[in-house]
Amino acid sequence: MRPLPLLPALLLLTSTGCAGALNRAVKRRTIPELSQTRDLGVACAFGEVGVAAAATVSGQHSQQALSVAWTMSGLCTEEQAWEEELGSRLALAHMPEEARTPAATDARLAAERGHAEAARRYQQGYQDALVAYGGAEDCKLRSDADEGVYLLGLMAGLLAQVNDGQADGAVGIPLNQLVEVARATDCLDDARWWGIPSAARFAAWATVPGSGPTEVDPWQGLSQAAARGDAAGQGIPRALWLFTAANAGNSDLVRSILDGWPALDPAQPPQWPLLDAYARHLARHEADLLWIAAEGHRAPAPPAPPAPPAARGADPFGSTDPFGGTEPFGGTEPFGTPPDPPAPPSE
Amino acid sequence: MQRLLLASLSFLALAAASPAQAASVCVYDPAGRTGFMYKMAESWAINAASWGARVELRPYTDEATAVNDFTAGSCDGVMASGVRLQRYNPATYTVEAVGGVPSYDLLKPVLSTLQTKAAYTPMFDAGEYETVGIWPLGAVYVMVRDRSLASIGALSGKRIASLDYDKASALAISRMGGVGVSADLATLGPAFNNGELDVLFLPATAYTPFELWHGLGDKGGIITTPLLQVTYQVLIHDGKFPEGFGTKSRTWVAGDFDTAMKSIKAAEAEVPAKYWVKPTDSAQTELEGFAQKLRLELRDQSKAYDGRVLSLLKKARCNADPARAECAQSLE
């Protein structure tokens, strides 16, 4: 992929102080490029630099650029929070008994700080998107690029509430924000955006009791949205389904969603690899949580996890012992008797 | 079919290959894993490691399912509201008695004393179960679509949400002369907002998630006097946790009171001042008398409340405010 044209654009525009031009540059140049990366670290760096640069332009008029930058910057602190969250679980699993609670508590508090910062950043991204385009009643979207910025802003709105919950409400994101975002997704065409708008809507309805129409089964809706996303190579709907199931404690469904995750198809790359990469990153985090609980370590790298003992297949030797039950090497020790380990030094 | 790393995890294997046996606890939080109740549970579970227990939390967004799974033996412990756990431990449920604890200032020493003084340990023993912690979950308030109804006497004939597992609210509605409308967490918010219900009994923590301003509108109100205090309780199976776990857990939970109150007070602060209705002196007296009658009936007829705990709560109320009319009586 080509280098992102972000910094030159931002530096040029901040030096000229033209907020409208900055918004246009971000929509026409930066987002088309940024959305093609699968490197979340690059997106995070873009966000942090972009916030600092765009804020120097008269902030009241560059909300579109700021919304994208704030949203991307949330990735940085959310990633730190996730790492600390895993650290807390690992401390409980492996530390000596007397150190478990303080070590796990420390990591948990660090995770809460990270989630709080992520919530602040995502919330800023969401608020800037609302200022630029309005909420469900307004839908002031004039172009595909506007829709892209708005979609990111709505995702940020969801993530702000999720992260604030994990930060024990440190930021004070309104608890109806999921529902507010769900309403605003009506501004976006579900097919155009690979099922993400409907997945966000169903996720909110499944999470907040009574928030959706009684005749709609949000879990079925999430499943359908995930299928739509899968067909387009876009994992965000499946990630929303996964997170909603994990949040509700439906572990069987979590396993099923992870098991059904399609492999990357080189013949059909997703249109916004950035979002798909984030979806897979979130899935990896959920898998890590499960693996630590079960095995004491994170999910291993590809190609395959250990199979369950019961699923490893029948004894390929037909349960007969080809060596006749005797020591296969004839009972002789070819290397001689090993020496005793060295004794500790005397005091 | 080729699978992604994450996808190809065989999680059934994981369940069978756990490196150490942990005690499982079904944790109810309507907001799930990101809710403030679940966060309290996480902190408790981390501290449980220092009391000799390895605890695995399982989130539930449906309270009945959490308790049913505990009953079925799927979990070694459960965290749910006192009212939902009343059939296991009526004594700890009685802390939620109607009008039993009229303020958060009083609730803190009540929960702290009960959970930390050895003299009260027996109330946590529930046969083969033990209650090992009680947090506050917020006062339940009377919310009305029309603030002219903001007194007990005015509620006659009004439609009031009733939870089928809550004897106290059903009896309260009956004694108010109200019309009980069966509801659950998924239906009561929309029903109040669209006018199918006139009155709700809910903590203020429900105000924002359920967007209750739609139902309260310009005329609605919330009576400032709490109807009761709902609590969040941890109940465990005996034998699934180390000896002495209950005492250590209750002591820690008592000290965690302010953590819970932080979320509760933040939620109450989101309710605009215009909705809070302070009852008149006569309405307050009427409310206190109504609550007392209800407590006695729930103690004597329904056998829902534990008389010993009601007696303790009365002492606490009268120590805090000796001028209360009930302090000259010996009914509780």
Q: What does the pLDDT read at residue A309?
A: 40
Q: Point out which residues pair with B203 in neighbouring strands.
A: B140
Inter-chain residue contact A263 with B3, CB threshold 8 Å:
yes
Sign of CA dihedral B89, B41, B32, A239: negative
Q: What does the pLDDT read at residue B234?
A: 98
Inter-chain residue contact B4 with A93, CB threshold 8 Å:
no
CA atoms within 13 A on the CB side of A130: 18
Residues of B in contact with A298 (CB under 8 A): none
A216 touches chain B (CB under 8 A): no
B90 with B306: CB under 8 angstroms? yes
Inter-chain residue contact A248 with B59, CB threshold 8 Å:
yes
Mean pLDDT for the stretch of residues A4-26:
60
Which contiguous run of DSSP H or E holds residue B144?
strand B129-144
Q: A171 to each of A162, A166, A203, B263, B274, how far by Cα in Å? A: 11, 10, 22, 11, 24
Mean confidence (pLDDT) of chain B: 92
Q: Which of B123, B170, B134, B156 is nearest to B256 (CA)?
A: B134
Kind of pairing between the strands at B199-203 and B23-28: unpaired
Min Cα distance B257 → chain A (Å) is: 15
Please name the CATH architecture into which domain B19-138+229-268 falls.
Answer: 3-Layer(aba) Sandwich (3.40)
Q: A288 to each of A12, A127, A237, B27, how far by Cα in Å? A: 42, 32, 20, 21
Residues of A in contact with B46 (CB under 8 A): 88, 92, 100-101, 104-105, 108
Answer whether residue A311 shows pLDDT above 70.
no
Amino acid at A121: R
Q: Which domain holds residue A261?
A: 195-308
Answer with the residue of higher pLDDT: B189 or B21: B189
pLDDT-derived band at A264 (thresholds 50, 70, 90) equals confident
Segment of A44-53, A327-336, B83-92 carrying the highest mean pLDDT: B83-92
Min Cα distance A264 → chain B (Å) is: 7
Inter-chain residue contact A290 with B11, CB threshold 8 Å:
yes
Separation between Cα atoms, residue A98 and residue B222, nearest integer Å: 48
Residues of B in contact with A306 (CB under 8 A): 10, 13
Mutate which of A38, A86, A175 to test chain B, going by most B C-beta atoms within 10 A?
A175
Mutate which of A82, A168, A173 to test chain B, going by most B C-beta atoms within 10 A?
A168
E strands, B15-115, where?
23-28, 55-60, 77-81
Answer whether residue A322 shows pLDDT above 80.
no
Min Cα distance B94 → chain A (Å) is: 27
B106 with B112: CB under 8 angstroms? no
Separation between Cα atoms, residue B216 and residue B278, nearest integer Å: 16
Tell me: the pLDDT tens digits for A231-259? Answer: 999 999 999 999 999 999 999 999 999 99
Mean pLDDT for the stretch of residues A113-126:
98
Residues of A in contact with B19 (CB under 8 A): 93, 294-296
Answer with the residue of higher pLDDT: A206 or A62: A206
Q: What does the pLDDT read at residue B14?
A: 41
Q: What does the pLDDT read at residue A234?
A: 94
Mean pLDDT for the stretch of residues A269-288:
92
Answer with the residue of higher pLDDT: B274 or A11: B274
Q: What are phi and psi of B133, to 5 degrees?
A: 175, 140
Q: To which residue do tokens 């969603």 refer?
A: A257
Residues 206-245 in B contacting A (C-alpha not used; CB under 8 Å): 208-211
Mean pLDDT for the stretch of residues B75-103:
97
Exposed (0-12), middle (13-18) or buried (19+): which is A336, by Cβ within 10 Å?
A: exposed
Separation between Cα atoms, residue A279 and residue B305, nearest integer Å: 50
Separation between Cα atoms, residue A173 and residue B298, nearest integer Å: 40
Q: What does the pLDDT read at residue B68?
A: 97
HEC secondary structure over A52-84: HHHCCCCHHHCHHHHHHHHHHHHHHHHHHHHHH
Which contiguous run of DSSP H or E holds residue A276?
helix A273-295
Asked if the structure places residue A336 within a domain, the reply is: no
In chain A, count of helices (H) and strands (E)?
13, 0
What SS3 class is residue B26? strand
Answer whether residue B91 shows pLDDT above 90.
yes
Mean pLDDT for the stretch of residues B206-223:
96
Candidate from B16-20, B81-85, B198-202 with smallest mean pLDDT: B16-20
A298 with A82: CB under 8 angstroms? no
Residues 127-186 in B contacting A (C-alpha not used; CB under 8 Å): 184-186
The CATH number of the structural domain formed by B140-227+277-302 is: 3.40.190.10
Q: B268 to each of A120, A168, B139, B210, how far by Cα in Å? A: 22, 16, 10, 14
Instruction: Tell me what percent of the residues of chain A surpass a pLDDT of 70.
Output: 80
Asked if the structure places residue A241 within a domain, the reply is: yes
Amino acid at A214: T
Q: Point out which residues pair with A262 in neighbouring strands.
A: B3
Asked if the structure places residue A190 within a domain, the reply is: no
Q: Would B19-138+229-268 and B140-227+277-302 be classified into the same CATH topology?
A: yes
Inter-chain residue contact A247 with B34, CB threshold 8 Å:
yes
Q: Could you tell me how many CB contacts below 8 A there are between chain A and chain B?
A: 181
Tell me: the pLDDT tens digits for B167-205? Answer: 888 999 999 999 999 988 888 999 999 999 999 999 999
Separation between Cα atoms, residue A169 and residue A151, nearest integer Å: 24
Inter-chain residue contact B49 with A175, CB threshold 8 Å:
no
B105 touches chain A (CB under 8 A): no
Answer with the residue of higher pLDDT: A34 or A342: A34
Q: Cα B53 from chain centroid?
A: 25
Asked if the structure places residue A315 within a domain, the reply is: no
Q: What does the pLDDT read at residue A345?
A: 41
Separation between Cα atoms, residue A327 and residue A314, nearest integer Å: 23
A257 with A241: CB under 8 angstroms? yes
- Whole-model pTM: value is 0.88
Q: What does the pLDDT read at residue A59?
A: 56
B111 with B60: CB under 8 angstroms? no
Residues of B in contact with A304 (CB under 8 A): 8
**A311 closest CB neighbour out of B10, B46, B209:** B10
Asked if the structure places residue A155 within a domain, the reply is: no
Separation between Cα atoms, residue B204 and residue B225, nearest integer Å: 12
Answer whether residue A343 shows pLDDT above 70.
no
Mean pLDDT for the stretch of residues A197-225:
96
Kind of pairing between the strands at B23-28 and B77-81: parallel
Q: What does the pLDDT read at residue B120?
A: 96
Q: What does the pLDDT read at residue B6?
A: 43
Asked if the structure places residue A269 within a domain, the reply is: yes
Tell me: the pLDDT tens digits for B295-329? Answer: 999 999 999 999 999 999 999 999 999 999 999 99
Chain B residue with the nearest C-alpha to that of A293 = B18
Residues of B in contact with A210 (CB under 8 A): 185-190, 210
Q: What is the ipTM of this complex?
A: 0.89
**The total number of structural domains that make up chain A:** 1
pLDDT-derived band at A347 (thresholds 50, 70, 90) equals very low
Amino acid at A135: G
Answer with the residue of higher pLDDT: A136 or A22: A136
Rounded to 5°, angle at Cα A65 from A61 and A71: 125
A97 touches chain B (CB under 8 A): yes
Answer whether residue B261 shows pLDDT above 60.
yes
A138 touches chain B (CB under 8 A): no
Tell me: the pLDDT tens digits for A148-195? Answer: 999 999 999 999 999 999 999 999 999 999 999 999 999 999 999 999
Residues of B in contact with A311 (CB under 8 A): 10, 12-13
Answer with the residue of higher pLDDT: A60 or B314: B314
Asked if the structure places residue A61 within a domain, the reply is: no
Mean pLDDT for the stretch of residues B63-90:
96
pLDDT-derived band at A9 (thresholds 50, 70, 90) equals low
Count of Cβ atoms closer than 10 Å to residue A260 Cβ: 17
Mutate which of B3, B6, B24, B37 to test chain A, going by most A C-beta atoms within 10 A?
B6
Mean pLDDT for the stretch of residues B100-125:
97
Q: What does the pLDDT read at residue A258?
A: 93
B208 with A176: CB under 8 angstroms? yes
Min Cα distance B247 → chain A (Å) is: 18
Candidate from A210-224, A241-255, A332-346, B50-64 with smallest mean pLDDT: A332-346
Q: Which of A181, A159, A183, A179 is nearest to A171 (CA)?
A: A159
Mean pLDDT for the stretch of residues A41-67:
83
Mutate which of B9, B47, B208 to test chain A, going by most A C-beta atoms within 10 A?
B9
Answer whether residue A201 shows pLDDT above 60.
yes
Min Cα distance A141 → chain B (Å) is: 27
The DSSP code for B200 is E
| Domain ranges (residues) in chain B | 19-138+229-268, 140-227+277-302
Amino acid at B223: I
B140 with B228: CB under 8 angstroms? yes
pLDDT-derived band at B166 (thresholds 50, 70, 90) equals confident
Mutate which of A109, A173, A208 to test chain B, going by most B C-beta atoms within 10 A?
A208
CA atoms within 13 A on the CB side of B184: 12
